[in-house]
Each structure stands twice: as structure tokens, then as C-alpha cells.
């Protein structure tokens, strides 16, 4: 009789091995229970790592509370020029920014209300627009995402000044 031999036996769902040892008495090993216990251990370790990671990085990806950035900001300059100023011109049409208000809310959303004077060969008109979206904060740095276009752009808040960079243009707002 060998010291240890494995003889497969079928019980319910998976193979079970009967151990024969030098000592009297028998032990059974169920392979499905071993795998299930390993899965439970792996799941517990994964959830623990996720919990630790989310606590460690909560200030990087969340809304955070570094400086109270919420509030309404009025556009002061566009690419260094005071309002009203030309935002777009292509020889056929010119768009001037007359007024713009950027509001940051504590729920992670923003609104951007602005009025443009549009001039072309047919005359002039004024139009008001509203853009909406979400943002994330990392200390004073902000990342915005426009809900309509999906465009992502950046900004920062220092004291009462919000600076936003979008498609190479720089918008400076004051609260």
C-alpha cells in the first residue's frame, strides 16, 4: 500500500478524490469547493484593494472641496481682449461675444450662457446660447465635458478668477 494514493470518485457535481493515507480514516477533497473558496478569497482581496484605492484617490477624481469654486463667473477677456470682441471671422461671417456667464454648480454640472452678435452680408442679429455639461475637480484644476458635443476642455480657479482653455482659445472669467 503506497503512502498516498488518489482515486477519483464521482459524488455530485464534480470529481472528488479519496485520500488513502498510512493512518486509518479517510479524507475527501472536493475540487469544486476548493475553486469556490479560491474565488471567494480573490473577490475579497479585489474588493479590499478597490476600497483602499477609491479612498486614496477620492480627491483626484471626485468633486473635492478644495476652494469653493461654485458660483457665477462673468467673462472678462477672450484671448486677452475685453468684451465685446471678435470670437470668429472668416470673410463671410463674423461672430462677436457680447456677454457670457459661466456657472459652476456643486452637483458637478455647469451652464455657459452667452450672447453673440452675428454679422454677415444679410445684416446683423443677436443670439443667445446655453451650453451645459459636467466637470471634475482636482484641487484648483478642472476638467469640463460638454453634454451636447462631448468635447473635453480644461480650466482652473484661482481666488475669484476662472480661466478656461477650449480649442486653443483662453477665456478669463471673474466671480
| All domains of the chain in start order, with CATH | 5-56 (no CATH), 71-174 (2.40.128.300)
Confidence at 65, pLDDT banded by 50, 70, 90 = very low
Per-residue confidence (pLDDT) for residue 141, from 0 to 100: 96
Average of per-residue pLDDT across 75-89 = 97
Contact call for residues 76 and 83 (beta carbons, < 8 A): yes
Per-residue confidence (pLDDT) for residue 107, from 0 to 100: 97
91 Cβ contact list (under 8 Å, min separation 6) = none
Per-residue confidence (pLDDT) for residue 124, from 0 to 100: 97
Percent of the chain with pLDDT over 90: 59
pTM: 0.62
Residue 12 CA to its chain's centroid (Å) = 47
- pLDDT per residue over 100-120, tens digit each? 999 999 999 999 999 999 999
36 Cβ contact list (under 8 Å, min separation 6) = none
Amino acid at each position: 500500500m503506497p503512502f498516498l494514493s488518489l482515486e477519483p470518485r464521482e459524488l455530485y457535481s464534480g470529481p472528488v478524490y479519496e485520500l488513502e493515507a498510512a493512518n486509518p480514516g479517510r479524507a475527501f477533497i472536493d475540487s469544486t469547493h476548493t475553486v469556490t473558496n479560491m474565488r471567494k478569497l480573490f473577490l475579497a482581496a479585489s474588493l479590499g484593494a478597490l476600497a483602499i484605492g477609491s479612498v486614496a484617490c477620492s480627491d483626484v477624481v471626485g468633486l473635492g472641496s478644495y476652494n469653493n469654486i461654485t458660483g457665477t463667473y462673468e467673462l472678462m477677456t477672450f484671448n486677452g481682449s475685453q468684451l465685446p470682441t471678435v470670437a470668429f471671422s472668416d470673410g463671410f461671417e463674423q461672430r462677436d461675444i457680447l456677454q457670457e456667464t459661466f456657472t459652476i454648480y456643486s452637483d458637478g454640472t455647469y451652464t455657459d450662457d452667452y450672447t453673440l452678435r452675428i454679422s454677415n452680408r444679410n445684416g446683423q442679429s443677436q443670439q443667445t446660447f446655453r451650453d451645459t455639461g459636467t466637470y471634475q475637480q482636482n484641487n484648483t484644476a478642472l476638467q469640463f465635458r460638454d453634454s451636447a458635443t462631448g468635447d473635453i476642455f480644461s480650466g482652473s480657479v484661482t481666488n475669484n478668477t476662472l480661466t478656461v482653455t477650449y480649442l486653443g482659445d483662453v477665456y478669463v472669467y471673474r466671480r
